[in-house]
Structure 1
């Protein structure tokens, strides 16, 4: 153990530990006053950091615990709960997905959320500054959080743009034509024959001309497209004869999603056919980013007031959808799929008898962990940033449990709403529930609007539902952008004395948020083409399944091994009054790293054996998104000189 002084004048606070912080998994306080002189130099350096005790700027601190909880819940509860969770659960066998989800919640989600919240509140800095305080060589981990945050918010706001378009389209209920997806609006095109494919392709203006406009070849291409696959040559399977087999009728929700939002046509869509940027999606994306920018510029002082509206309101709408969903004919079929597990899916690869596509068992586990990380905003720096605005006395573990339970409770409740509607559609179409729709990013947009159209005053309910999605998504998007801005600001602050441009960005209100939002918006434009849903699915899969898993693993190693979980507990006790329990220390040091290492290795092997797409260059983009940030972190860590008093104490003990 290092005993020599690190040259820093020691001003250690001896803090009376608040016993209210020591419940819910925290160890006993022990002695109320502790002497820190025997601790390693890096620990003493953190405890003597005067910047932590300096008063924070106005607008950078939560005025109450309720404000922080609303912000943290707003960051956690978002599109991931209503948009992402249902389609992952649907794709991975319904109830069997909930088993690894529950395991991941207890062993990974809560421990890592406690780690990030303690890191932010205890050190009072963004992810970049907090990890650098643990060890200079960990600064790159903050940049990996920056990359993961930016990657997620790029496609996240594209999904919000879809929500905005549906929200605006819902007002068409006031017109004579009614809602675009309302039953009967385009019934002349829906006969369960080739006419429904003509409508899907957007070629039919009326029934008299449709058969003269559409070819069998294009109809089969559309059929393949509706099933979620790329364009296939229908002549190859029939020896040149026209395909005259059965064609599943599209629902109105599916037709609206495919033709109006994604802009599909009979040419098909895949990674190889990006197509023109949709002007409707692009303008909607502009609107989303302008709202996000405005909320970021005005900071926590304005955000905390909007949270009192944007966080509770969605729950009212969910309750309405819940009662309507469970009363639909066939809802029991969907709820059975959601609640009765097929345990074989957890351990045995599944092969689709129709397509031959393999669904690896490890994908169920990877998806469950990724959903926990995605919905709790873990590995993205958002929770560290929000916690850094907390006063030191806020109860950390109690807040962690509150946020985690509300987040997962919302997901499970939202799942009941969606699966009851899927059961209804299954009975209406006469197909097994797993074949109702393609399990992908468009699931909620295809299913929920059609269900809402069955209610009295459907326009009102559709407006309320998509407003709910917008409010949920915007609070999460703002937290992600805030995390990215905080990391960028910390870096620019260190460059400001030598670079006038960096100094200008730091001191000019709105300059840095505008620059960050503009850059992310330009990246998002690339996802507004015809294959946008495919790209969203691919990028979400690689970032959530692999990059966030690696970031979580590195965070566990950083605190549990490099800095040391015992030393981290000392710093937390001195700065916040919260002393993490020995059980949390075991999670940080052993359980978390072991689980994520095994899961990541198995996931990589599975993805190599069963690629998510056969388009090689699209896979290359996904792997680059995962590996480049980690490689850059490793290079930066190796290049950073390690001074004796800055080393992680666990390594030098």
Structure 2
């Protein structure tokens, strides 16, 4: 078996589900659902899955399977003038991996703390001041936090241990264990959460439909943005994973299975989140609307606050919850290194083990900036730039290259011949060529406007720095001469 080939279709599906099911499902989606009309949000949400999520994944899978190569090599072979973009998206995704390692480190610390409620009586003070030593000053870069650095390095070692092996030996086997385990633990957490007094209060708040918001453009933009974020669209991960598949893969059915599993997980997670918020509301007398939040505030402040008043069950539910977050982060982070790693292997002829080791050393060193008192602020700035500006722009150009220059219609007969579910037709071509790029462009414009309106001077500075790192890194990998003679070779498969 090749070092970059799935041992079975199951490995491919579980790895893709692991990539999609991540931190965003637990800490982002419940808030998005609640703040965008509750039950009414499901209408734009389902439209976004059918109109963008599934069609775009099919496109990425189809082209990835056709080339059986890295993203950078495929883009170069489609049109050598676009090679820069072939490196742009893998490098952007690698930058996501670097700041994800910080969140993984924080959560690793909380797994240990959860056994004895080590965050104390005020989780907000502990997380912000005691753990992160958060500083709004640039001088915070000079304050190094050893505990966070060690926790992050532990995560990097785990990532290296899994990813430097041959694909099936490492990522394939781990996905077969971690992804089912992730779902089982979430079932236990949600099952218990639903039995808490006040759970119905939270669920009522979550699902109460605000139909008036359906006429609001922002709710539709939120739905499409959520699907881009949740399914890791345009990150070149789906393309790379599909290039590892065996010849008999049913890519259309796989796409539907992955999108369905991701949707079920994030909606199931929302049940648990709001059941617990409802319990907290009942105990504290605080309205759910004043408790709900997203991001690190939900995971590292609201949940520990709940566990503080939950009694003895907190010593079971707490570790399970933070372990779930860790596993979700780990399965996602393992996927973010694959596109850049495979592209480097293709161009420079390195082995998988050597490439992974090199990237993880580089990533670990850069990530130490997040182990400073100013690290939390930098993380927020970089996350906003990558997700709301860089990736969406890359997706638009990816649609142009794959749907127009490569010609998406070439894939229809091949994909249909293996599909056991739906069949593609002209409707799919219309979506990926016209509808999809327009919608993503609209979401990108909305994201840009949000960044411009809400940015502080410090955020603008780090946005520029992040852009410079991304563009320079991309340029260097583009202009370096290839060392692998196969870099120029490509045989048409479809």
Question: Quick check: 1:296 aligned with 2:296?
Answer: no
Three-state SS of the structure 2 residue aligned to 1:298 is coil
Three-state SS of the structure 1 residue aligned to 2:2 is coil
The equivalent position to 2:432 in structure 1, one of 579, 588, 605, is: 588
| Shift of residue 395, structure 1, vs aligned partner | 0.2
- Corresponding position of 1:159: 103
The equivalent position to 2:124 in structure 1, one of 254, 277, 286, is: 254
| Shift of residue 424, structure 1, vs aligned partner | 2.3
Question: Quick check: 1:122 aligned with 2:66?
Answer: yes
| Shift of residue 375, structure 1, vs aligned partner | 2.4
Three-state SS of the structure 2 residue aligned to 1:392 is coil
CA distance in 1, matches of 2:302, 2:345: 42
Report matched runs for 1:31-110 at 5 Å: 58-89=2-33, 94-95=38-39, 98-110=42-54
- Corresponding position of 1:413: 268
- Corresponding position of 2:118: 180
Check whether the contact 1:392–1:575 (CA below 8 A) recurs between aligned residues: no
Question: Quick check: 1:431 aligned with 2:286?
Answer: yes
Report matched runs for 1:194-343 at 5 Å: 252-264=122-134, 269=136, 273-274=140-141, 276-302=143-169, 303-343=171-211
| Shift of residue 533, structure 1, vs aligned partner | 3.4
Question: Quick check: 1:398 aligned with 2:265?
Answer: no
| Shift of residue 346, structure 1, vs aligned partner | 6.0
CA distance in 1, matches of 2:360, 2:335: 13
Check whether the contact 2:63–2:402 (CA below 8 A) recurs between aligned residues: no
Distance verdict in 2 for CA 1:572–1:406, change over 3 Å: closer
1:496-526, CA deviations, whole angstroms, 9 ceiling, x for partnerless residues? xxxxxxxxxx15x632212111111222211
- Corresponding position of 1:6: none
CA distance in 1, matches of 2:251, 2:9: 10
- Corresponding position of 1:199: none
1:24-51, CA deviations, whole angstroms, 9 ceiling, x for partnerless residues? xxxxxxxxxxxxxxxxxxxxxxxxxxxx
1:538-570, CA deviations, whole angstroms, 9 ceiling, x for partnerless residues? 322222222222122112111222222223446
Greater C-alpha radius of gyration: 1
Check whether the contact 2:91–2:473 (CA below 8 A) recurs between aligned residues: no
| Shift of residue 286, structure 1, vs aligned partner | 0.5
TM-score of the two chains, using structure 2 as the length reference: 0.86
CA distance in 2, matches of 1:91, 1:522: 37
Check whether the contact 1:373–1:548 (CA below 8 A) recurs between aligned residues: no
Check whether the contact 2:91–2:474 (CA below 8 A) recurs between aligned residues: no
Three-state SS of the structure 1 residue aligned to 2:406 is helix
Q: Decide which structure has greater helix share.
A: 2
CA distance in 2, matches of 1:334, 1:488: 48
Aligned residues: 477
| Shift of residue 394, structure 1, vs aligned partner | 0.6
CA distance in 1, matches of 2:98, 2:384: 14
CA distance in 2, matches of 1:631, 1:376: 27
- Corresponding position of 1:621: 462
CA distance in 1, matches of 2:195, 2:10: 35
Check whether the contact 2:85–2:394 (CA below 8 A) recurs between aligned residues: yes
Distance verdict in 2 for CA 1:253–1:292, change over 3 Å: same
Q: Gaps (5+ residues) in structure 2? A: 479-487, 489-494
Check whether the contact 2:378–2:462 (CA below 8 A) recurs between aligned residues: no
- Corresponding position of 2:314: 458
CA distance in 2, matches of 1:576, 1:103: 22
Check whether the contact 1:82–1:411 (CA below 8 A) recurs between aligned residues: yes
Three-state SS of the structure 2 residue aligned to 1:553 is helix
- Corresponding position of 2:401: 558
| Shift of residue 153, structure 1, vs aligned partner | 0.6
Distance verdict in 2 for CA 1:636–1:447, change over 3 Å: closer
| Shift of residue 296, structure 1, vs aligned partner | 1.1
Three-state SS of the structure 2 residue aligned to 1:549 is helix
CA distance in 2, matches of 1:162, 1:528: 10
- Corresponding position of 2:485: none
Which is further off, 548-557 or 401-410? Answer: 548-557
- Corresponding position of 1:12: none
TM-score of the two chains, using structure 1 as the length reference: 0.66
Three-state SS of the structure 1 residue aligned to 2:61 is helix
Which is further off, 535-544 or 155-164? Answer: 535-544
Distance verdict in 2 for CA 1:86–1:537, change over 3 Å: farther
Q: Gaps (5+ residues) in structure 1? A: 1-56, 187-251, 349-360, 494-505, 638-645, 647-653
Which is further off, 591-600 or 623-632? Answer: 623-632
CA distance in 1, matches of 2:160, 2:458: 33
Distance verdict in 2 for CA 1:161–1:629, change over 3 Å: closer
| Shift of residue 279, structure 1, vs aligned partner | 1.2
Check whether the contact 1:418–1:444 (CA below 8 A) recurs between aligned residues: no
